[in-house]
């Protein structure tokens, strides 16, 4: 079988699996977040944290819950790393330095999972399981909760209430993430992924020297790492490591886990708003972008120029022979169009244009289908903007799902869109101009610029993947990337929840002959165009200095 055909068949199999899971999982999540009953284990949790799950919250109270919980997570994870040297199960590893501990705490709480350390050489079992793995669950649940709050804003009528953050958080973990992650972990263990608590041991010789590896609860962390679009690997090589991703099947299964919840949340949106076709319109926009990016990535990596690439069957540098170009391209596109950041190949070694595709995927806002929760609310923000543009074209007050999009709503949407580019471009410019950050790059010219641009794009969009070649374990990068992760995660949530509250206060307006039919393919096309134009106008100059210049020169 040719490598190209293999890649296409993998893509088709993935699409089929997601199509089968979309309806039951999406409907189940709609029931979870619409239910008025509480499971017994959930009542124990509410009692333990002192929360009343039946108290309806307006958007300021909901936001306070999000920020308070996340701040507590940052402090807990920071202290856990700083105390690692005296904790049991530390495998002899010392405590993490303050700047790196801050960076890692900000990373995992913000659902970024950027790692400026070697996992197998820095983190013991307690930090990995009680710290990092736990944050993989709860940070993903926070993202879903905010998305559900926005959906309730569209579905609500003159109440201003968005539900209860603590109930949404606990239900997301107990009823959605834990069951799915448990099934995923069992599948991964059955396919050869490591799951133990062994210490450090020698595994063989490499270039004449002994090689040492530690085990760990890898399969369970791998499942939620992908399912929650987190991305932080147990080992430095991430999903390119055979302990995390041993076979082509596990590679495709992990991509399935990455896309599963974001794709299914479009069904949840349709059910909760009472119009399943609206969910399909959002899914259609996401699928159009994902399929287009996947096709472009495979074309750039299979378009082999020169005898070396022809002999290899494509651009195989930085890619695992186990997965090939097809599997690596699928993984790269899926992980950068979501907020996952896991990698089974090294994006820095992709062709110049291929590396640019991974960057552009993040620059779109990671909305196709995006991160767990963040992809849905990001695409809904873009839908609001697209409706507003359409309203300007025809001279009508824009409406979406029966809610008028006035000046207040479009200001919230505009602020949401502007936050991430401001972080990415400002911090990239500072890192390029200042002498100390520039010393961290191992490449000059366009590729060196791409390394820095990629790092801040990844951090500000809560992705977590990186271009190899950048030494990010410095005080400058640990601090600035940590700040970019926190601001890039929680500032947009402020405007999402403010928009949700504004919408929930409105009375739905009736559909008339002049209402824009947002469930139609025409609106899906308009939405895709708005996404590409906004991102293109914002980031094209920076991309021209980096991956485009490199790709055109090669």
In this prediction, residue 9 carries a pLDDT of 93
- CB contact at 8 A, 216 and 123: no
Distance CA 506, CA 113 (A): 38
CA dihedral angle for residue 197, residue 198, residue 203, residue 206, rounded to 10 degrees: 70
Angle, helices 276-302 vs 3-34, to 10°: value is 150
pLDDT along the chain (554 residues), means of 10: 85 96 97 95 95 94 97 96 87 88 94 84 84 93 97 90 96 97 96 84 66 80 94 86 93 96 97 95 97 93 65 70 90 94 88 89 93 96 94 83 92 96 94 75 79 92 86 88 96 97 91 85 95 90 84 72
Rounded CA separation 80/211 (Å):
28
What is the distance between the alpha carbons of residues 84 and 104, in angstroms, rounded to a whole number?
Answer: 14
Q: Which two tokens stand for residue 112?
A: 């970024």
Q: How big is the CA angle at 20 (ends 15 and 24), to the nearest 5 degrees?
A: 135
- Number of CB atoms found within 10 A of residue 151's CB: 28
Q: What angle do CA 490, 416, 366 make, to 5 degrees?
A: 80
Nearest-CA neighbor of 224 among 171, 176, 269?
A: 176
Closest CA to 163 of 178, 171, 152, 175: 152
3-state helix, strand, coil in the chain (%, to 5): 65, 5, 30
pLDDT of residue 438: 58
Q: Which residues pair with 345 in a beta bridge?
A: 319
pLDDT of residue 359: 92
User: What is the C-alpha separation between 140 and 28, in angstroms, rounded?
Assistant: 17
Q: Which of 244, 241, 231, 267 is nearest to 342 (CA)?
A: 231
- List helix spans (H) across 274-373: 276-302, 307-312, 324-336, 352-363
Give the residue from 548, 375, 534, 357 showing the smallest Cα distance to 447.
Answer: 548
Whether 405 and 398 have beta carbons less than 8 Å apart is answered as yes
**Burial label, 424 (beta-carbon count in 10 A; 0-12, 13-18, 19+):** buried
CA–CA separation, 489 vs 111, rounded Å? 8
Contact 441, 448 (CB under 8 A): yes
pLDDT of 554: 64
Which residues partner with 210 through β-bridges?
A: 205
- Residue 36 sits at φ, ψ, to 5 deg, of -105, 0
Q: Can you give the residue ranges of every domain in the chain?
A: 373-553
Strand segments (E) across 86-206: 200-206
Token match 């640019």: residue? 356
* Distance from C-alpha of 139 to C-alpha of 145, rounded to nearest angstrom: 10
């Amino acid at each position: 079988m040719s490598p190209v055909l293999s890649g296409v068949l993998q893509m088709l199999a993935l699409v089929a699996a997601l199509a089968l899971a979309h309806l039951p999982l999406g409907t189940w999540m709609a029931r979870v977040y619409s239910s008025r009953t509480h499971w017994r284990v959930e009542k124990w949790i509410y009692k333990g944290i002192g929360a009343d799950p039946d108290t309806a919250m307006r958007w300021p109270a909901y936001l306070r819950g999000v920020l308070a919980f996340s701040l507590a997570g940052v402090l807990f994870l920071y202290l856990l790393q700083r105390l690692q040297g005296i904790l049991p199960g530390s495998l002899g590893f010392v405590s993490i330095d303050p700047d790196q501990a801050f960076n890692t705490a900000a990373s995992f709480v913000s659902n970024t999972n950027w790692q400026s350390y070697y996992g197998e050489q820095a983190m013991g079992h307690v930090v990995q399981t009680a710290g990092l793995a736990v944050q993989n669950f709860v940070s993903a649940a926070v993202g879903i909760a905010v998305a559900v709050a926005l959906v309730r804003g569209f579905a609500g009528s003159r109440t201003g209430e968005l539900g209860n953050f603590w109930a949404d958080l606990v239900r997301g973990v107990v009823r959605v993430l834990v069951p799915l992650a448990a099934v995923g972990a069992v599948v991964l263990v059955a396919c050869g992924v490591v799951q133990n608590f062994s210490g450090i041991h020698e595994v063989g010789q490499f270039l004449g020297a002994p090689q040492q590896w530690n085990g760990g609860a890898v399969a369970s962390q791998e499942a939620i790492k992908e399912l929650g679009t987190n991305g932080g690997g147990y080992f430095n090589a991430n999903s390119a490591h055979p302990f995390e991703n041993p076979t082509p099947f596990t590679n495709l299964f992990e991509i399935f886990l990455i896309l599963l919840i974001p794709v299914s949340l479009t069904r949840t949106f349709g059910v909760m708003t009472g119009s399943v076709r609206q969910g399909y319109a959002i899914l259609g926009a996401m699928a159009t972008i994902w399929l287009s990016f996947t096709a472009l990535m495979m074309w750039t990596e299979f378009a082999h120029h020169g005898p070396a690439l022809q002999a290899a069957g494509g651009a195989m540098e930085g890619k695992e022979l186990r997965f090939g170009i097809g599997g690596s391209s699928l993984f790269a596109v899926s992980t950068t169009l979501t907020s996952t950041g896991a990698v089974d190949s090294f994006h820095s070694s992709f062709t110049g244009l291929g590396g640019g595709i991974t960057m552009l995927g993040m620059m779109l806002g990671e909305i196709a289908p995006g991160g767990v929760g963040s992809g849905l609310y990001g695409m809904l923000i873009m839908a609001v903007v697209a409706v507003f543009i359409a309203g300007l074209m025809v001279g009508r007050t824009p409406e979406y799902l029966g809610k008028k999009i006035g000046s207040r709503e479009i200001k919230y949407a505009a602020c949401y869109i502007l936050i991430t580019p401001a972080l990415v471009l400002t911090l990239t410019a500072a890192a390029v101009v200042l002498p100390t950050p520039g010393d961290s790059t191992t490449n000059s010219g366009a590729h060196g610029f791409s390394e820095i641009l990629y790092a801040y794009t990844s951090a500000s969009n809560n992705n977590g993947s990186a271009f190899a070649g950048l030494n990010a374990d410095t005080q400058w990068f640990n601090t600035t990337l940590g700040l970019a992760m926190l601001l890039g995660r929680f500032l947009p949530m402020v405007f999402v929840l403010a928009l949700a509250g504004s919408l929930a206060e409105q009375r739905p307006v009736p559909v008339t002959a002049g209402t824009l039919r947002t469930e139609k393919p025409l609106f899906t096309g308009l939405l895709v165009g708005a996404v590409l134009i906004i991102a293109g106008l914002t980031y094209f100059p920076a991309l021209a200095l980096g991956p485009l210049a490199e790709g055109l020169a090669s």
